[in-house]
Structure 1
Amino acid sequence: MSDVSLILEPEQLAPLLEREEIRVIDLSSQQNYLAGHIPGALGLPFQALMAGTPPAAGKLPPVERLTQVFRAIGLTPDTHIVACDDEGGGWAGRLLWTLEVIGHKKYSYLNGGMIAWKGAGLPLSTEDVSVTPSDIDIGIAEDAPIIDAEKIQQRLALNDLQIWDARSPAEHSGERVLAMKGGHIPGAINCEWTQLMDPQRDLRIRTDAREFLAALGIDGEKEIATHCQSHHRSAFTWLVGKSLGLPIVAYPGSWSEWGNLPDTPVEN
């Protein structure tokens, strides 16, 4: 484990940029990245973290492709990744969840991402950033926080799993249909991802997140599986749950898979 905390404030990250093992990965849009990024931060397109094959485009890419991505960003067992983005934490969360899936535990989230960094008036750079590729070998960790549709169905029958649906209320209710079927996984609790962001504090994670979730019934009494449409929004909710110490995994197939499978139960 690292001595750097999971949730980092911009003012905490600034002095760490000198440290050799710290690598900032920015998942902002290319346009925003080029317009100004944290000095030394490497840009990474979010597409690199997703399989991209319909219907469930949000599933993990093959290990071979992930290996190429992590070698290209210079990941070594000692690297401490700090992830940020320009949209409140979805893509940053997706990178950190992927690191956890491959068993790399040294990582942090820049709270509020680039919005908070700029809001704090910290320096920006437009310089090209290049890193020496690594030769790391990766695989899926035994304790990877990942769950599939079959496992969810089994655990719903056992009543030992809670589903956190990070989509919009309209998607959850089935009013907005983005798959063959509309609605939600039976018993799922809807808490849209943006509800965990504080717009008054540059989209940092809300300070009362634990109480807010507990009031909805997401309290960690059971293991939690979070999902959205493609495991982008739910990558942020996974990160929030992890930061609160909740037992949480993610379902990368998400609704784009569940809503298109013939035998999956749906409520609306």
Structure 2
Amino acid sequence: MKRLIETCLCMMVLLLAVQAQPAKPRSARTNLLVSTDWLAKNLTNPKVVLLHIGQTRKNYDTAHIPGARFLLYADLITSRSGVVNELPPVEKLQQLFAQVGVNDDSRVILYCDTQGLLSARTYFTLDYLGLGNQAALLDGGLEKWKAEKREVSTIAPEIKAGNFTPRLNPKIIMQREAVRDISWLSVASDQPVTLLLDARQPDGYDGSIKRPDLPLSGHIPGAVNVYWTQNYVSKEAPTLKPVAELRKMYEAAGATPDKKMVTYCWIGMMASHAYFTLKYLGYDVAMYDGSFTEWAKSEGAQVVTGKNPK
């Protein structure tokens, strides 16, 4: 009996020691980001579909990367129950991407002219549709391409319709009810399994910004804050920081590799960039698409003001 007790105690000590070990960083998904050098060498690759996402066609018509197809961002979103920037029906998205030539085996490269926000949101959409592992952002975007004095064009390419078939990935979309449960657990525990990440500017997170269209200000209880622009080397150069630097930044905010992450912002734009960056770093990540706009308008919603998560 004594030996059995000693054995059990040893096993408990070993288990606690294993649990005390910090989680190892996950491998970065380097296929989700391509350099301007890579793109320059692959512009004529028939498998590559290069998409220029814009709020209007003006910038595309003025200068775009040769071979890029234009995709109007407004076609990628809809409004639902008073919340803007929501995903439209799958059938519409399927038709939209097929029209710009996306096939089931395409390598889709995304860029925009708004510091990567529109392309990150488009990546999230493609990930939901099942093409996340075949899509990538152009690191530095059109800004870096132009700064390197690479060739630009005003000619829209001829497009052959694609055969894209969605393979939905619904687990990356977090609904309000699930976010409410995650928030409650984050407040109740010092080591939550799932962590909410607010990608808004600090004065949005702490409640200093009072939006007239929202009844509440502050952040969802338990959420930590990493402003999405901190992913970049600088605002002027929308190139992602090195992997080690990004990991250090997110882990300092509490996003350790063992945690599942759920991003949000005002309407799912900044959160899309945080979503992309965390996925690139290897995290298990989802996004609350309704974000703070939906949360603040919900009956009985709780918020926290100030710089602390709870």
Shorter chain as normaliser: what TM range? over 0.9
Residue 180 in structure 1 maps to residue 207 in structure 2: no
Match of 1:59 in 2: 86
Aligned residue among 218, 221, 227 for 2:258 = 221
Q: Deviations over 1:41-97 (max 9, x none)?
A: 011121122123462112211112212212211221111100011122111111111
Distance 1:115 1:123 in 2: 13
Residue 25 in structure 1 maps to residue 58 in structure 2: no
Match of 2:202 in 1: 169
Residue 212 in structure 1 maps to residue 249 in structure 2: yes
Aligned residue among 278, 282, 302 for 1:265 = 302
Match of 2:116 in 1: 89
Pick closer, same or farther for the CA change 1:257–1:193 going to 2, 3 Å: same
Structure 1: state its 5+ residue gaps. none
Structure 2: state its 5+ residue gaps. 1-29, 186-191, 306-310
Mean Cα deviation higher: 159-168 or 12-21: 159-168
- Matched residue SS, 2:109: strand
Match of 2:130 in 1: 103
RMSD between superposed Cα atoms in Å: 1.9
Match of 2:234 in 1: 199
Letter in 2 for 1:163: L
Match of 1:234 in 2: 271
The structural deviation recorded for 1:183 is: 0.9
Letter in 2 for 1:199: S
Pick closer, same or farther for the CA change 1:200–1:99 going to 2, 3 Å: closer
Letter in 2 for 1:247: D
- Matched residue SS, 1:123: coil
Matches within 5 A, 1:5-20: 5-20=31-46
Distance 2:279 2:62 in 1: 32
Match of 1:41 in 2: 68
Match of 1:69 in 2: 96
Runs of at least 4 residues off by over 6 Å:
none
- Matched residue SS, 1:44: strand
The structural deviation recorded for 1:139 is: 5.2
The structural deviation recorded for 1:200 is: 7.6
Task: Indicate the structure with greater helix content.
Answer: 2
Match of 1:124 in 2: 152
Letter in 1 for 2:202: P
Distance 1:200 1:73 in 2: 30
- Matched residue SS, 1:84: strand
- Matched residue SS, 1:239: helix
Pick closer, same or farther for the CA change 1:257–1:211 going to 2, 3 Å: same
Q: Answer whether contact 1:219 1:246 (CA < 8 A) is retained.
A: no
| TM-score, with length taken from structure 2 | 0.80
Mean Cα deviation higher: 199-208 or 115-124: 199-208
Q: Answer whether contact 2:193 2:258 (CA < 8 A) is retained.
A: no
Aligned residues: 265
The structural deviation recorded for 1:19 is: 0.6
Letter in 2 for 1:210: R
Q: Answer whether contact 1:230 1:255 (CA < 8 A) is retained.
A: yes
Distance 1:238 1:101 in 2: 12
